Structure 1
């Protein structure tokens, strides 16, 4: 095409081409919008409807204002000016999605958050780009009056809609699976900025043209720099793989779990699987329940796993039944290759992968299975509704062999309420399967979110299940009686049966979050927007590890070994950690070598909070009535605070969201005093925290820490935590915030009354001018400082309650 012909073509089809491109851009952003919000609010109906509603509202207002602007100033310069502003609004969207959204998403619930953030992020681009169609109609009619207004309107709307169709298809079928969200935003923003900027340059002269060129180049540099910074921000040394999949962002990273090196698989921000790197045992307990097939059909020949993840369950079945045929249905195309490269899935003809939806597979398959395991919920906020309904369970039942069992991993809570996702699913399953058993992965008594394994059978294949479990030679199966969630005799009639026609899953999830233990919990608890929860089970494992070191009194081998363990654990999490060692000289000139362990998370942050505990233990069980000189294990009084902070550090280290808050983990030595007797010494003084209080200005050159939170004795089975008096006077506001959050999670645990004046590590910090409060369950009778302060009197649920309170508390400062 000759130059003159090109100019003629552009002059004739310029408006149609521009509205085609901008129409495509609008739909690319609309499709991408749900992927921007879903890591923080889940793939819920609230997210989808919020995005669609805001985009439609923005376009509606844009059409209205665009027509008014076109009548007032019908020039191509003004037309390009609107496009250029649309490009700037896309750049603002890009920056906010990278910086503010990860930090501030926790301010709003999964019901209101998507709507609020859709307004903040997507309204202005939709509004400005929506102005273009009526503007183009006006310009087209002005410059081609021979073409009727109706014809021009139809022409413009045809090409704008055609662009939208192409943009929608490109985003879903090509761009998101191929280049990812960040690259899409970068490319779309750059395209619209270039389109508007070049148009402005072409329609201006003199100084205004030079200004337009300068601003265009400056904006392009800023957009490109933002893209490069965003890409480099993902270069965490622990990350082995990261890519936007068809449905979620897929991440593989190495970290620590239960004190062991582990590799995690994440879908968006939700943990979806993990393996230990130093062994073949299964990482998460819920994955071990597949072994229940041994009670019904130990000669299993065919199994179906819906939701492959990292193929944990298919691998485990194959390891036991090498000749069994295992079909895996997984809708995310990348997962099989990820499992092979990073999670030890070996090539075998016994495991066949079907990349399709599980419901569709069941409809099309004619095979019957000895075991069907459904594992498609990877977080509470991403529950595929069509796997919760009666029709799904019925279809699964129809594919069971004569001795087959169906198992589903369900996320929920055993808390009783007028509406419950778990109980609705149980009623739905009982409507299909005559025999249903339920196991709680953590504890049947817990009201917190946990995994439930629901087993459905067409015939009674597990009579006397309790006795068979008790006599099992498999250690895991033998432990399951304590995990049976009782449903016999429980009335489920008040709960809805979920069907393809009516399954209000998102509503039930939202109600659960809002109503957990307290009708106003959702307002009281800052939503964290993190992909991992505090795991009390991990902290319990750490308590056992610490107690196994023996006495940790000052100067002992166990004390030194624990100090080394703390350093290694923090360094393994890529958290800067170091010893602060010194020698304390007693009044009788006896030297005592001591070391505080200080680990700094987000060390560049100016605002800092201290999380502290002591890691030494008392030298003997002086309150034990039988043997006051015996070794005191110190599971609660010593190990619990350490375990809590170790698990908090792991939880924080898995959070890739940007943060403005710095956290200093301080493990104090010598809290039990120079005689290592704590309260048993009338001249008690905490040594490590006193030393820290004297030297902290050298550590905080930019200003003292905002405040400190100290933890001690937080794992009691019968947990009850009242406000401590010295803390109340020194840090009333911070203490009340912590108790408000804890009270929303567990109102019977967090007592708002002020009860005790307790000597602990917070006192030297308060004396040094650092507002500090102590979190402690001081009522630990009859085990306190006796030989019975053992892990058997500690509870993973108690640790989870305190740990989740801490994580929400920290999120409230982001």
Structure 2
């Protein structure tokens, strides 16, 4: 295409570079925030981030293709059209929160397969913002080159501005916006950024009076949608750098309140006010009772991985356990437990660091180490490997026991088999405890694995959970048969596909 004076843009190159960097930064902020916003509905896992990245890149790709076609037009008209796409980015970004709220129910009820549900929900909320944000890049690059000497340098500067903007947006989202403003307010800031970009594009494109009026209406609409999103009821009681945390109030016996802690979309603990020693879930009951059974009534020192509602540390404090150290990476989880779950500050020594880092940092040895950080597809891979289990064993006393909970489906048991194989690489004795009743079909089942130097003195125990229930250790021959049938391999720091092993079961039971 022949370049004419009419095609050349009057704006200085620095302004085009600034626009490129700002739009790129804003689009990456939206991508990072997408992970936080979708977590309360489908959780945060490898599958979640895979879907988010794929959807956002698909939006950028379509936007770049569209922007390339627009860039072939005379520069002023191309810039005005870029302004319209920025108005679209502002409106669709502002609407993402409301779309998630409205679409989550129908999508999760219709699509029970996690990958389909996560991808569809992500696309519904974040494809359009990414598409619109992808349009200006080729338009700005062509505008920077037209009518300039050394246009190749201008093109390089525009590419560099996009990359620097993406880096800045990633850092701002991860270290500043989400932690200090929350996801909804962050999207409001991005809405304003896109609206300002739209105004600049219209100005650079010598917008006409009629278009200016329509553009103003679009910007007002974006701010109105953003205000509606900010005014909507909050999903999270606390939104931290790690999680969306909320408390669900339930009723137990007459006059007794029971509270459920939900982190992202998963239940992480159930507690009642009246009796701190009463566990209200199977996994809590086993993690409380089985280590005490192994200690034979003697006092002990314990290290607990994962705080949640702090039900087990609270119970052990009530029972007078000598020392309880809790590694809970998120201080906001602890604050929620203190505020809503009757956990008394000082009842345990709480470390707000990753459990693996905490164990590596000290050679302190414990009689009991409990890992209560595994929920469905959200299991932290670095806490399920042979290397981590060897670290755990090095921090146990001679009589020590490691108790770890695991959720698996009885029709699969791939994750259970891998856990057992890996623990057997490190510990002479590995037991798998669960509800003594036979499973019904492909049942979601909670297991607690005990690993130590010696076997338990009993093979079954009766525990209140909250009614008295019998829990038993699975037969070693049964475990061997599962391992052989599954061809289970140990989990290592190099390869720990725990999300795949846990299976792609329905998000909604």
1:355–1:106 CA distance, 2 compared to 1 (3 A): same
1:355 aligns with 2:352: yes
Once the two structures are superposed, what CA deviation does each residue of 1:229-252 show, in whole Å capped at 9, x if it has no partner?
x2x365xxxxxx702122221002
Q: 1:337 aligns with which of 335, 338, 346?
A: 335
1:106 Cα deviation after fit = 3.2
* Partner residue, 2:145: 141
Q: 1:502 aligns with which of 467, 488, 495?
A: 495
Distance across 2 between alignment mates of 1:484 and 1:114:
36
1:92 Cα deviation after fit = 4.2
The correspondence of residues 5-84 of structure 1 with structure 2, limited to 5 A, is 11=12, 13-75=14-76, 76-84=79-87
Q: 2:172 aligns with which of 167, 170, 173?
A: 170
Note if contact 1:414-1:444 (Cα within 8 Å) is conserved in structure 2: no
Q: 2:220 aligns with which of 217, 220, 223?
A: 217
Distance across 1 between alignment mates of 2:188 and 2:325:
40
Note if contact 1:41-1:381 (Cα within 8 Å) is conserved in structure 2: no
Distance across 2 between alignment mates of 1:186 and 1:501:
40
1:510 Cα deviation after fit = 3.0
* Partner residue, 2:187: 185
Distance across 1 between alignment mates of 2:43 and 2:180:
22
1:302 Cα deviation after fit = 1.8
1:457 Cα deviation after fit = 0.8
Query: Any unmatched runs of 5+ in structure 1?
Result: 1-8, 235-240, 514-521, 529-803, 805-814
1:327 aligns with 2:332: no
Once the two structures are superposed, what CA deviation does each residue of 1:541-569 show, in whole Å capped at 9, x if it has no partner?
xxxxxxxxxxxxxxxxxxxxxxxxxxxxx
* Partner residue, 1:383: 379
1:64 Cα deviation after fit = 3.3
Note if contact 1:411-1:450 (Cα within 8 Å) is conserved in structure 2: yes
1:121 aligns with 2:125: yes
1:138 Cα deviation after fit = 1.2
Note if contact 1:58-1:130 (Cα within 8 Å) is conserved in structure 2: yes
1:327–1:233 CA distance, 2 compared to 1 (3 A): closer
1:265 Cα deviation after fit = 1.1
Once the two structures are superposed, what CA deviation does each residue of 1:405-447 show, in whole Å capped at 9, x if it has no partner?
00011111333x4x62222222222332211222214735344
Distance across 1 between alignment mates of 2:459 and 2:216:
78
Distance across 2 between alignment mates of 1:335 and 1:452:
24
* Partner residue, 1:413: 409
1:482–1:333 CA distance, 2 compared to 1 (3 A): closer
Note if contact 2:291-2:403 (Cα within 8 Å) is conserved in structure 1: no
1:10–1:72 CA distance, 2 compared to 1 (3 A): closer
User: Helix, strand or coil for the counterpart of 2:162?
Assistant: helix
Once the two structures are superposed, what CA deviation does each residue of 1:305-355 show, in whole Å capped at 9, x if it has no partner?
000112211122222235x2221111112122222222222232x621111
* Partner residue, 1:316: 315
Distance across 2 between alignment mates of 1:442 and 1:16:
66
Distance across 2 between alignment mates of 1:20 and 1:269:
34
Which structure has the larger Rg over C-alpha atoms?
Answer: 1
User: Helix, strand or coil for the counterpart of 1:334?
Assistant: helix
* Partner residue, 2:3: none
* Partner residue, 2:389: 393
Distance across 2 between alignment mates of 1:257 and 1:411:
25
Distance across 2 between alignment mates of 1:334 and 1:218:
35
Q: 2:90 aligns with which of 72, 77, 87?
A: 87
* Partner residue, 1:440: 434
The correspondence of residues 752-767 of structure 1 with structure 2, limited to 5 A, is none
1:445–1:216 CA distance, 2 compared to 1 (3 A): closer
User: Helix, strand or coil for the counterpart of 1:408?
Assistant: strand
Q: 1:112 aligns with which of 112, 116, 135?
A: 116
Note if contact 1:406-1:456 (Cα within 8 Å) is conserved in structure 2: yes
Distance across 1 between alignment mates of 2:270 and 2:52:
33
Note if contact 2:94-2:229 (Cα within 8 Å) is conserved in structure 1: no
Query: Any unmatched runs of 5+ in structure 2?
Result: 1-9
Distance across 1 between alignment mates of 2:181 and 2:252:
31
TM-score (norm 1): 0.56
1:333–1:233 CA distance, 2 compared to 1 (3 A): closer
Distance across 1 between alignment mates of 2:203 and 2:435:
64
* Partner residue, 1:706: none
Once the two structures are superposed, what CA deviation does each residue of 1:460-509 show, in whole Å capped at 9, x if it has no partner?
4x33x148x58xxx878996755333334432232232222222222223
* Partner residue, 1:249: 244
Distance across 2 between alignment mates of 1:42 and 1:265:
14
Note if contact 2:100-2:121 (Cα within 8 Å) is conserved in structure 1: no
Distance across 1 between alignment mates of 2:122 and 2:471:
45
User: Helix, strand or coil for the counterpart of 1:273?
Assistant: strand
Distance across 1 between alignment mates of 2:251 and 2:122:
36
* Partner residue, 1:272: 268
Distance across 2 between alignment mates of 1:294 and 1:489:
26
Segment of structure 1 superposing worse, 388-397 or 439-448: 439-448
User: Helix, strand or coil for the counterpart of 1:483?
Assistant: strand
* Partner residue, 1:403: 399
User: Helix, strand or coil for the counterpart of 1:112?
Assistant: helix
Note if contact 2:23-2:197 (Cα within 8 Å) is conserved in structure 1: no
Note if contact 1:19-1:163 (Cα within 8 Å) is conserved in structure 2: yes
1:16–1:198 CA distance, 2 compared to 1 (3 A): closer
Distance across 2 between alignment mates of 1:187 and 1:354:
34
Distance across 1 between alignment mates of 2:253 and 2:391:
38
1:450 aligns with 2:423: no
Distance across 1 between alignment mates of 2:470 and 2:339:
37
Once the two structures are superposed, what CA deviation does each residue of 1:153-187 show, in whole Å capped at 9, x if it has no partner?
12112222222111111111122222222222222
Q: Which has the higher helix share?
A: 2
Aligned length: 487
1:191–1:443 CA distance, 2 compared to 1 (3 A): farther
Note if contact 1:414-1:422 (Cα within 8 Å) is conserved in structure 2: no
The correspondence of residues 457-606 of structure 1 with structure 2, limited to 5 A, is 457-460=452-455, 462-463=456-457, 465-466=458-459, 469=461, 482-490=471-479, 491=481, 492-493=483-484, 494-511=487-504, 513=505, 527-528=507-508
1:466–1:338 CA distance, 2 compared to 1 (3 A): same
